[in-house]
Amino acid sequence: MTTSTLRYALVSALVTLGLIVGTASSGSAATSPTLTAKKTKAAVVFGSGLKAASTEQPCQSGSAACASSKPQLSLAWSSAASTAGCRFRLDVDWGDGKAVQSVKLSGSEQAKVWTVTHNYAGNVAARRAYAIGATATVLADPQARGCSIESAGLTFTLMCTPTQLVSTAWGAKFPGGDSDISHLNDTFRPGVEKFVAAMTKAGITVSPQSTLRSPQRSYLMHYSYKVAKKQITPAQVPAYTPVAGEKAPKVCWVFRSTTGALDNTTAVRAASTLLSSMGVDPSLKTPPALRSRHNTGDAIDMRTTWTASTIKIKTADGKTVTISSGPKDGTNARLMAVGASYGVNHFAPAAVDRNHWSSDGR
Interface contacts to Zn ion, rule CB under 5 A: 301, 356
Torsion of CA 241, 245, 293, 202, to 10 degrees: 140
Least separation in angstroms between residue 218's CB and Zn ion is 10
- Contact between 228 and 268 under an 8 Å Cβ cutoff? The reply is yes
> Beta strand pairing status for 3-6 and 148-158?
parallel
> Which is closer to Zn ion, CB of 47 or CB of 287?
287
Closest residue to bound Zn ion by CB = 356
> Which is closer to Zn ion, CB of 291 or CB of 319?
291
Within 8 A by CB and 6+ apart from 171, the residues are 217, 220, 274, 277, 278
> Which is closer to Zn ion, CB of 90 or CB of 212?
212
- Contact between 106 and 149 under an 8 Å Cβ cutoff? The reply is no
> Closest by alpha carbon to 348, among 285, 266, 303?
285
* Ramachandran angles phi, psi of 2, nearest 5°: -90, 130
Q: Cis peptide before 238, with omega less than 30 degrees from 0?
A: no
Within 8 A by CB and 6+ apart from 55, the residues are none
Return the SS3 of 246.
coil
> Which is closer to Zn ion, CB of 45 or CB of 300?
300
> Which is closer to Zn ion, CB of 298 or CB of 301?
301
> Which is closer to Zn ion, CB of 328 or CB of 356?
356
Least separation in angstroms between residue 113's CB and Zn ion is 60
> Closest by alpha carbon to 316, among 187, 183, 190?
190
Specify burial of residue 84 (Cβ count, 10 A radius: 0-12, 13-18, 19+): middle
